[in-house]
Structure 1
Amino acid sequence: MLKFFKKKAAGAKVEIKKVENRDLMEAIIGGCLLVSAADGEIEKEETEKLDKLIRSNPNLAHFGNEITATINRFTEQLEAGFRVGRMNILREIDDIKNTPAEAEEVFCNMLTVAEADGEIEPEEQKVLEEVGRRLGLRIEDYL
């Protein structure tokens, strides 16, 4: 019986962790997709890199298939209507902006995706500056 309760408690901890970190996961994915879409197209390589980044993050790895579903959902929103998709993503980013560690984590992930091809393009720079202002962070402090 004790084993049963330990198993239930472990499951409950995973669910609590998911609830606590969902805003962070959504903000990172959304922010990175905004950077990816800055040039007008979200490339497969960019979403694969994003998927790896999220899965390698110990705070987010437990989301499993929800990571892929969130990437697909935001990608579809951006492709269906960029302005609406952007608005939804910026709202997700606003959810974490008052937690400095999470704001920095979102911003650093966005920078990593922007630099994936070796340089930050001018369109990507604009997105990073806009999100940076929302989060109270500057690109220069992370390069």
Structure 2
Amino acid sequence: MSIAGTFTNWLKSTKVGLQDQVKKFQNRDFLDAVVAGCALVAAADGSIDSSEKQKMAAYIGRSEELKVFNMNDVIARFNHFVSGFEFDHGVGKMEALKVIGKYKNNSDAARIVVSVCCAIGAADGHFDEQEKSVVREICAVVNLNPAEFQL
């Protein structure tokens, strides 16, 4: 099986039950970590353009995993993190990684954040190398092995 096929199979199997796992951690800090990860993946190429914002909004709107959160809260927090990237990419990235880093000692929650980031990276059918690189950085921040996520 090809690497892409293996990754696709992993992504499908990971998505099963992810919503129930997200419900266990349904709180503001976890919402921030998930949405910060979404913003990091969207900004992987150095900027977040309108098509990336639309992709993120569409994914969030149809995502079974994120339906446990109030959509207005999700969008407000996403816009908060995006504004950090728009102000200064490096500062926005550090803020997002700091929020995600709160879960470095909670591997269950960290795995969910990384899994959602992988799903967002692949939402357009192409999980490109820049997006994978950002998710690898997230893995490093939360002390997870990127290989666990086929990265």
TM-score interval, smaller chain: 0.7 to 0.9
Deviations 1:96-125 (A, max 9, x none): 221121101100010011111222212112
TM-score of the aligned structures, taking structure 2 as reference length: 0.71
1:26 aligns with 2:32: yes
TM-score of the aligned structures, taking structure 1 as reference length: 0.75
The one of 37, 52, 57 aligned to 2:66: 57
Quote how far apart the aligned CAs of 1:41 are. Answer: 3.0
SS at structure 2 position matched to 1:101: helix
Question: In the alignment, is the contact (CA less than 8 A) between 1:29 and 1:70 conserved in 2?
Answer: yes
In structure 2, the CA distance between the partners of 1:115 and 1:64, relative to structure 1 (3 Å rule), is: closer
Identity of aligned pairs, percent? 30
Please list every run of 5 or more consecutive structure 1 residues that lacks an aligned counterpart in the other structure.
1-16
In structure 2, the CA distance between the partners of 1:77 and 1:70, relative to structure 1 (3 Å rule), is: same
* Aligned counterpart, 1:142: 149
Q: Which has the larger radius of gyration?
A: 1
1:1-143 to 2 correspondence within 5 Å?
21-42=27-48, 43-52=52-61, 56-57=65-66, 60-61=68-69, 63-143=70-150
Question: In the alignment, is the contact (CA less than 8 A) between 1:32 and 1:50 conserved in 2?
Answer: no
| Cα distance in 2 between the residues matched to 1:69 and 1:30 | 11
Quote how far apart the aligned CAs of 1:67 are. Answer: 1.5
Deviations 1:20-56 (A, max 9, x none): 6111100110011101111233212332144226675
SS at structure 1 position matched to 2:44: helix
Give the number of equivalent residue pairs.
124
Question: In the alignment, is the contact (CA less than 8 A) between 2:42 and 2:53 conserved in 1?
Answer: no
Quote how far apart the aligned CAs of 1:140 are. Answer: 2.9
